Amino acid sequence: MEIAEGIVSELAYSTAIEIAQRIRRREVSSREVLDYFLARVERLDGPINSVVTIDAERARAEADAADAALARGEIRGPLHGVPMTIKDSFQTAGMRTTSGAPELADFIPSEDAWPVARLRAAGAIIFGKTNLPLYAGDLQSYNEVFGTTNNPYDLSRTPGGSSGGSAAALACGFTPLELGSDIGGSIRLPAHMSGVTGHKPSYGIVPAHGQIPGPPGTLTLADLAVAGPMARSVEDLELGLDILAGPNRWEWRAWRLELPPPRRRSMREYRVAAWLDDPYCRVEPEVSRLLQKAAQALAQSGVPVDPDARPAFTLEKITDTFFALLQAALAGGVPRDRIEEYAATPGDTPVARTRRLLAMRHRQWLSYNERRLQLRKRWEEFFERWDAVLFPVMPCPAIPHDHSQPQAARQVWIAGEQRSYWDLITWMAPAGACYLPATVVPVGCLENGLPVGIQIVGPYLEDRTTLALARHLLALVGGCPRPPGF
């Protein structure tokens, strides 16, 4: 088949749905699409360093098999023949999976993580892995195995973390779809910093067995942690969620998942709150202006937006709960012989507080968990009147690289003020602490060219509501931006 020149020029920023349709219509073969993306990564990814492992030989064999199946009239699924990349924390059978750890630099899993298996079953062809921080444990993406991933809008800045390679690859047009993970904002923060879309699903609806950390073979699913789709369109996020969501390995024999449809039939019926700034974590003025402009665009399109509606708790309260639960979920990485030392750390610095939370007793965790449940009840009450809430993602755009240790001692500059590194995840708390779905879409770029995203949070298990609002808002603002030179 001779691939049309026009189709070649469109592939980089085509959606996964569009590519799948073109393959099914035989306007282009899976092998041609794959070779196009492989060549694009080789030509453009050098200064970005987003795609860190490629298995071209296997991917070409799978693409050829997809084309042969299509010639026989067989379509494996909605992503039949569509090439894509996967965050390097997800095990991929037969393809190196490192999670950025030197001790796993040559690790080749024998089986796929559950989300990867579901994407393959839908017809996707995994041709590469994208970069992340060591064991997915930072808001930036760098490690000793593959080095640093740079933001395509400004190489001196991070694309975010931990799904930073995923977001950068999407922004550069290296892949139409990605699989990310989020425990403290690892889908949402990179989507914001790199100008792409991402969906943090309601906790528990996407089986995530096969992620690293913990060690390969771990069956424990960490509190707060989810896997979810990243893309450049909300339609691809919706398709990704349809493919990924379902019962996990323990429940699939009896349980079924049926997410409710969007709450409203028309946009004018939605009731949206806008919590776009707060004295507890001020948002940079230029970022705030873009967020306010997006909320106004939503209101002008007929969606009722209330800037004053709030649930019955403070941002400080839910952030304190979220940060404590997050550190407890990450505590498996603390060496046993240092737990008592961490628990006795004196002082009120970010480092001291973080260490004490990493070493918290189970009794203390039970108290924080009860607080979480009380906050979930407050959210339930709020969502009886409102359908969704608009939030910032971060108080600032993508930050300059800073790999100093410990992370808790880092400082960031926000609107000329030096603040704690942990301030960057404050706005992750309202959805993260309470297991809520959150969709991030870009809403524009600052004068310096850096993209800004907005977070749409909805009721537990009502992911289709946040996605429907996100699809409408992204259309209003003109879609995802493209970094210069790509």
| Closest C-alpha among 52, 42, 73, 56 to residue 130 | 52
DSSP H or E segment with residue 472: helix 463-477
Q: Which of 30, 87, 129, 194 is catalytic?
A: 87
Angle at 352 between CA 406 and CA 99, to 5 degrees: 35
Question: Sign of the C-alpha dihedral, residues 37, 39, 40, 45?
Answer: positive
Q: Is 258 exposed, middle or buried (0-12, 13-18, 19+ CB in 10 A)?
A: exposed
- Answer whether 229's CB lies under 8 Å from 180's CB: yes
Radius of gyration of the chain (CA): 21
Number of C-beta neighbours around residue 78 at 10 A:
18
Q: Which of 99, 162, 194, 202 is catalytic?
A: 162
- C-alpha dist (Å) from residue 381 to 277, 310, 373, 465: 22, 11, 13, 17
For 468, residues 6+ apart whose C-beta sits below 8 A from its C-beta are: 262, 264
| Closest C-alpha among 192, 105, 161 to residue 149 | 161
Q: Would residue 162 show up in a list of annotated catalytic residues for this protein?
A: yes
Q: Which of 14, 99, 186, 233 is catalytic?
A: 186
- C-alpha dist (Å) from residue 364 to 140, 223, 356, 422, 430: 30, 15, 11, 21, 21
Number of C-beta neighbours around residue 144 at 10 A:
11
For 13, residues 6+ apart whose C-beta sits below 8 A from its C-beta are: 173, 232, 482
DSSP string, 350-392: HHHHHHHHHT--HHHHHHHHHHHHHHHHHHHHHTTT-SEEEEE
Q: Would residue 186 show up in a list of annotated catalytic residues for this protein?
A: yes
Q: Please list the active-site residues.
A: 87, 162, 186
